[in-house]
C-alpha cells in the first residue's frame, strides 16, 4: 500500500510540475528562434583556459601557451595581441580599464613561479606585474580580479596584481581543493570537510561535512547552498548552520551547479543535465547530451546554452522543462575547446580552431567583413 501511494505521489508531482512548466513557458524567447553566426575568429592555438569579456566592447581570448588576444565584441576584429611572461592559468579578469592575467613558469628545479600582470584594455600596454610565491601550490581559482592559491594543504592566499591581499591558515582538515560561487569561496578536503570563507577577509564563515568527497561544484541562493560530490550526489545545505537538508543522486561526478529560482541545475559526468527541485531535491527533469558536457551559460530567463564533446552542435535547453528549444552547428569545429560565454547579447563559442559569436537571427549588431 505504501509503495502504491508513493508511486501515485511521484506521478502526481511530475504531472503537476510538467503542466506548470508548460503554462509558464515563454512563447517568444529570442534564443528559441533560428540562430546565425555574427562573426568568427580563426585561432589555431586555442587554449583550454576560459575566455572572458568586459560585456561591453572587448573579448579577451587566451592562446596556448602564453598569449592574450583582444577582439572587438561587436565584429571580432583584433584590437591587440600580448605575450605573457608564462603559461596562462586563469581566465583574463577585466577590471575597468585594465585586464588582469595570471601565469606560471616552470623553473629549472621543477618548481613553478606564479606571476600577475595588469594590461591596459584599450592599448594592450603592460601596466604592472607582481611575482607571487609558488611554493607547493596545489590548486588555484580566480576570484574577482585576484587569484586564490591553495598552498600545500593548509594555507589559503588571495593575491592580485598589487600583491597579497590576505593569507589564512586552515590546518585542521587537510585541504585538497578550492572553488567559488559568485562572491563565496569554498575550500574542502577529501574527507568531506568544507569551509565557507569570506572572500574579502579570508575568515571562515561556516564549516560543515559532506557524506562523500566534494567535487568542487557549489552554488548559493539565499540561505541555501548546494554542493556536488565525486560520487554524483547533490546536497542542499543550510547556509546558517551547515545542516544537510536533502540529497539527490545522479549517474556521475557533479561538474557544475547553478541555483535557479525553483531549483538547482546540475551538470553530471554521466552526460546528463538535471534540474532538481529546491524543496526536496526531486528530479524535475533530466536531459542527455551527446557526450561529456564541457559547460553552459545562461542566455535568457529560462534558456541555457550547452556545449558537449562528441558534437559540434550548440544546444539550447529550456530550464522549465528541459526540452531542447534550439540547436546550431558550428561547421568549422572539430570539437569545442571550452565553455561558452554570454556577453553583450552574443553567445561566444570557443572551438579547436577559433571562436564564433552567435545570436538569434536579426540580432547581430554588425557582421564581420565577408560573413
Give yes or no for residue 171 having a pLDDT over 90. Answer: no
pLDDT score for 110: 72
Predicted confidence (pLDDT) at residue 19 exceeds the cutoff of 60: no
What is the pLDDT confidence band of residue 85, given thresholds at 50, 70 and 90?
Answer: confident
Q: What integer pLDDT is reported at residue 8 of this predicted model?
A: 36
Q: What percent of the chain has pLDDT over 70?
A: 90
Torsion angles phi and psi, residue 243, rounded to 5: -75, 135
Predicted local distance difference test score (pLDDT) of residue 127: 86
Give the pLDDT of residue 143: 93
Is pLDDT of 23 > 50? no
Q: With H, G, I as helix, E, B as strand and everything else as coil, classify residue 30.
A: helix
**pLDDT reported for residue 28:** 54
Q: What confidence tens digit (pLDDT) does each residue in 54-83 have?
A: 999 999 999 999 999 999 999 999 999 999
For the chain, the average pLDDT equals 89
Q: 200-226: b or e for each residue (b if 16 or more CB lie within 10 Å)?
A: eebeeebebebebbbbbbbbbbeebbb
Is pLDDT at 11 greater than 50 in this prediction? no
How many Å apart are CA 338 and CA 325, to the nearest integer? 22
Question: Class for domain 211-288, per CATH?
Answer: mainly beta
Q: 85: which 3 cell numbers?
A: 611572461
Q: Looking at residue 356, what is its pLDDT?
A: 98
Give phi and psi for 46, each to the nearest 5. -60, 140
**Band of the pLDDT at 5, cuts 50, 70, 90?**
very low
Distance (Å, rounded) from C-alpha 71 to C-alpha 54? 11
Determine the Cα–Cα distance for residues 172 and 154; give it in Å rounded to an integer. Answer: 8
If pLDDT is split at 50, 70 and 90, which confidence band does 16 have?
Answer: very low
Residue 31's SS3 state is helix
User: Does residue 370 register a pLDDT over 60?
Assistant: no
Question: Can you tell me the mean pLDDT for 130-159?
Answer: 87
Q: Are strands 263-268 and 272-277 parallel, antiparallel or unpaired?
A: antiparallel
Question: Worst-scoring range by mean pLDDT, 97-111, 184-198, 200-214?
Answer: 97-111
Residue 22, pLDDT > 70, answer no
**Tens digit of each residue's pLDDT (9 = 90 or more) over 129-144:** 777 766 678 899 999 9
Proportion of the chain above pLDDT 90, given as a percent: 75
Residue pair 70/121 in contact by the 8 Å Cβ criterion? yes
Amino acid at each position: 500500500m505504501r509503495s502504491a501511494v508513493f508511486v501515485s505521489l511521484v506521478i502526481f508531482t511530475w504531472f503537476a510540475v510538467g503542466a506548470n512548466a508548460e503554462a509558464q513557458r515563454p512563447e517568444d524567447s529570442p534564443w528559441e528562434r533560428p540562430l546565425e553566426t555574427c562573426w568568427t575568429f580563426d585561432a589555431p592555438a586555442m587554449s583550454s583556459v576560459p575566455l572572458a569579456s568586459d560585456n561591453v566592447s572587448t573579448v579577451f581570448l587566451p592562446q596556448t601557451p602564453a598569449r592574450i588576444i583582444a577582439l572587438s565584441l561587436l565584429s571580432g576584429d583584433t584590437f591587440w595581441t600580448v605575450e605573457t611572461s608564462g603559461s596562462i592559468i586563469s581566465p583574463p579578469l577585466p577590471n575597468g580599464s585594465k585586464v588582469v592575467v595570471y601565469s606560471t613558469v616552470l623553473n629549472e628545479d621543477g618548481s613553478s613561479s606564479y606571476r600577475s600582470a595588469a594590461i591596459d584594455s584599450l592599448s594592450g600596454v603592460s601596466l604592472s606585474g607582481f611575482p607571487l610565491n609558488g611554493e607547493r601550490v596545489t590548486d588555484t581559482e580566480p576570484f574577482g580580479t585576484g587569484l586564490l592559491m591553495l598552498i600545500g594543504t593548509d594555507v589559503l592566499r588571495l593575491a592580485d596584481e598589487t600583491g597579497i591581499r590576505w593569507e589564512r591558515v586552515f590546518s585542521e582538515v587537510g585541504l585538497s581543493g578550492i572553488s567559488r560561487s559568485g562572491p563565496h569561496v569554498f575550500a574542502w578536503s577529501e574527507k568531506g570537510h568544507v569551509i565557507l570563507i569570506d572572500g574579502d577577509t579570508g575568515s571562515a564563515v561556516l564549516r560543515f561535512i559532506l557524506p562523500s568527497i566534494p567535487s568542487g561544484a557549489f552554488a548559493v541562493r539565499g540561505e541555501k547552498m548546494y554542493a556536488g560530490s565525486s560520487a554524483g550526489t547533490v546536497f542542499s545545505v543550510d547556509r546558517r548552520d551547515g545542516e544537510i537538508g536533502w540529497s539527490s543522486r545522479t549517474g556521475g561526478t557533479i561538474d557544475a551547479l547553478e541555483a535557479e529560482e525553483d531549483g538547482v541545475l546540475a551538470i553530471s559526468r554521466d552526460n546528463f543535465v538535471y534540474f532538481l527541485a529546491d524543496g526536496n531535491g526531486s528530479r524535475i527533469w533530466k536531459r542527455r547530451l551527446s557526450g561529456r558536457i564541457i559547460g553552459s551559460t545562461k542566455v535568457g530567463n529560462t534558456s541555457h546554452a550547452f556545449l558537449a564533446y562528441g558534437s559540434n552542435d550548440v544546444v539550447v535547453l529550456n530550464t522549465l522543462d528541459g526540452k531542447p528549444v534550439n540547436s546550431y552547428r558550428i561547421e568549422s569545429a572539430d570539437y569545442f575547446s571550452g565553455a561558452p560565454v554570454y556577453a553583450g547579447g552574443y553567445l561566444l563559442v570557443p572551438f579547436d580552431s577559433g571562436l564564433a559569436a552567435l545570436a538569434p537571427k536579426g540580432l547581430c549588431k554588425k557582421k564581420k567583413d565577408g560573413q
